[in-house]
Amino acid sequence: MVYLEEWPVFMSSVQDMFFNKPNKTRYSVKYRGKDGKVRLKVTDDQECLQFMLHPSQDLEKLKTINAWFLSNMAGLTVDRNAV
């Protein structure tokens, strides 16, 4: 399992994964109360992409990815540019 360091690379890889397999891809947010770490994970059961958020700095990133997934998963069609 790979932790990606750069946000644009992570988002691009995530979008590619979802575009290729929209019904297999799932996105999870793991919050650990002990140390406050937030981990994003996107997987299609074959490949796994992970990104660690930094506390109090990356709320906008979380909002962006939440919005993208909600609009694409709840919508009828898959749109790479949907936000």
Q: Minimal distance in Å, beta carbon 54 to another protein?
A: 9
Binding another protein (rule: CB under 8 A), the pick from 72, 79, 81, 82 is 72
Tell me if 34 contacts another protein by CB under 8 A: yes
Number of residues that bind another protein (CB under 8 A): 31
Question: Could you tell me which residues are beta bridge partners of residue 49?
Answer: 2, 42
Cα angle at 57 between 45 and 27, to 5 degrees? 15
The two three-digit tokens of residue 52, written as one number: 């660690």
Q: Minimal distance in Å, beta carbon 12 to another protein?
A: 19
Measured CA distances, 59 to 23, 37, 38, 40, 65 (Å): 27, 13, 10, 12, 10
The residues binding another protein (CB under 8 A) are 22-23, 25-34, 36, 38, 53, 55-56, 58-59, 62-63, 66-67, 69-76
